[in-house]
Structures are given as C-alpha cells and as structure tokens.
Amino acid sequence: TQLLEQSPQFLSIQEGENLTVYCNSSSVFSSLQWYRQEPGEGPVLLVTVVTGGEVKKLKRLTFQFGDARKDSSLHITAAQPGDTGLYLCAGVSSGYSTLTFGKGTMLLVSP
C-alpha cells in the first residue's frame, strides 16, 4: 500500500509569515503532485514534480521533490489570506495506476 504522510495537519499563521508543508512516504513515486482545495470545491492542481531533486516555483510557492523521490515539500513565502485552503500531495508509485492522496494540511492565513 502506498501511503503519503503530510505534516503538519493544521497550520494557522498571520499574513506575511513563511511556512513549509511536508509530504513523506516509504514508497518511491514516479511523480508527485500538489493540489489546493478550497471549501465547497474540488482539488485544483498546483504543480507536478517528476525528477528527484527537482525544484519548481509558482510565484510565492516553492515545491521540492526529494532526491530519492519519496518525499516533497511546499514552501510559501509571505503567506496571504488567499493562500488559505487544504493542501494535498498526491502521487503514483510503481505498480499503481491511480493517484494516492495524503490526508492534507489545512492552512489558515489571517490578515
């Protein structure tokens, strides 16, 4: 069974702070994706990382894929209230054909 552990489960910060969310597994993933889900909506893809050690930036969001392709991190610089939401990592490992999701990190950014 492929299992993705996310930490922290919940994060409440003030606008302007920086934060990092982690996604870890004992399985190797061919690719790993990050989604953001807002209340009443489905998850929306933010980024896909494919290569071990890869770093991708999306404005104030920086995503990193671990060298061994077993873990990933999401760093947000100068968080804004609009960043509030549930952040989900998801991946497909060898032998599986569908995305497995982590349990998510709920981020609340207060003005």
- Interface residues with another protein (CB under 8 A)? 30-31, 33, 35, 37, 40-45, 48, 50, 86, 88, 92, 97-101, 103-104, 106
The pairing of strands 44-49 and 29-37 is antiparallel
CB of 31 to another protein, least distance (A): 5
Distance CA 42, CA 33 (A): 15
Q: If DSSP codes are grouped into helix, strand and coil, which group holds residue 94? A: coil
Task: Match 């990050």 to its residue by tokens.
Answer: 34
CB of 78 to another protein, least distance (A): 26
Q: Are 89 and 72 in contact (CB under 8 A)?
A: yes
CB of 97 to another protein, least distance (A): 6
Based on CB atoms, which residue is closest to another protein, 45 or 68? 45
CB of 20 to another protein, least distance (A): 20
Nearest 5°: CA angle at 105, between 100 and 111? 150
Based on CB atoms, which residue is closest to another protein, 73 or 101? 101
